[in-house]
Amino acid sequence: MSRWCRQWKREQGGSFSLQQGWDLARLWYGDRLSPKWRPFNAQEAQEVFAKVGLTGDFWSLD
Amino acid sequence: MGTATEQAEFDNSLRLYTYGQVVDSGRAPTMAEAAAEMSSSEAAVRAAYVRLSESHAFMLTESGELWRVAPFSAIPTAFPVQSGGHTYYGNCIWDALGIPAMLGQDATIPASCGCCNLEMTLRVKAGSLLPHEGLIHVAVPARRWYEDVVFT
C-alpha cells in the first residue's frame, strides 16, 4: 500500500480487509436485482459503512 | 411520458431489463437495443438512463452508451469476475465482490495486487469469501468518490 502511494504520489487513504469488502459488497449489492430496490440515501449509505466498520472522517459522506 | 409514477415504472423496468441483459450475456445493451426492448425512443431511454445515473448506479460514456451498470462495468477492467459460465467485469474490487453478492453465485475473481501486480485470485463459494491475504485500499475520501470516479 505504501509503495502504491509513493508510485502514484498519493497520500495513504483508507483501507479495510477483504472480509470487510465482502460484507460491504453484500450489504451494498445484495438486493440490486429486486424490483423494489432503490438507492441508499446518504444517511443509509453511511450506516452501511458503519456496519462493516468504516467510520471516521475518511468514510464520511458529509 | 405521463405521470411521475409512470416515469418511475419505466425507469425501473429499464433498470431490470438492463441488469437482465448484463447477467445473461455479460454485456450491457446498446441504447438502440434498450429502446427496441422498451418499445420506446432512444431519446426516452437515454433520459431514463440519465435519471438512473443520478445515484451513480448507472453511468454513461460521453457517446451516451452505458459504461457502468453497478456493480458491472460495461467495458473490460482489471477486475474480471468468472461466475455462472460468464466473465463479467467490476469497476473496482468492491464492485467485483458485488457481482457474486448480487447474483448469489460462486465466483472466481482473478485480480492482481494493486501495488506489486502479483496474482491475487479471490474466490466466493456458498455465500462466503474464501480467506485470502490482502487489504483493500481506497485512495480517495468517500465524499469525493464521484468527482473522478474512474480514478477512484
| pLDDT value of residue B1 | 64
pTM to 2 decimal places: 0.92
| Residue B138 with chain A: CB contacts under 8 Å | 13-16, 58
| pLDDT value of residue B98 | 98
Q: Among residues B150, B3, B127, B130, which one has the least CA distance to residue B62? A: B150
Q: What is the pLDDT of residues A12-30, one digit of tens each?
A: 889 999 999 999 999 999 9
Q: Which of residues 45-84 of B touch A (CB under 8 A)?
A: 55, 57, 70-71
With CA atoms as reference, the chain B residue closest to A54 would be: B142
Q: What is the pLDDT of residues A38-57, one digit of tens each?
A: 999 999 999 999 999 999 99
| pLDDT value of residue B107 | 98
Q: What is the pLDDT of residues B89-144, one digit of tens each?
A: 999 999 999 999 999 999 999 998 877 788 999 999 999 999 998 899 888 888 88
Mutate to test the interface with B, among A11, A20, A26 (most CBs of B within 10 A): A26
Average pLDDT, chain B: 92
| pLDDT value of residue B66 | 95
| pLDDT value of residue B150 | 63
* Interface membership of B115 toward A (CB under 8 Å): yes
C-alpha span between A54 and A58 (Å, rounded): 9
| Residue B128 with chain A: CB contacts under 8 Å | 22
**Grid-cell match 483508507, residue found:** A14
In this predicted structure, the answer to whether residue B149 has a pLDDT above a threshold of 70 is no
Q: Do B140 and A13 touch (CB under 8 A)?
A: yes
In this predicted structure, the answer to whether residue B75 has a pLDDT above a threshold of 90 is yes
CA distances to A37, B44, B55, B141 from B49, in Å: 16, 9, 11, 27
CA A4 to chain CA centroid, Å, is 20
Map residue B8 onto helix, strand or coil.
Answer: helix
Q: What is the pLDDT of residues B79-103, one digit of tens each?
A: 999 999 999 999 999 999 999 999 9
Q: Do A22 and B97 touch (CB under 8 A)?
A: yes
Minimal C-alpha gap between A44 and chain B (Å): 13
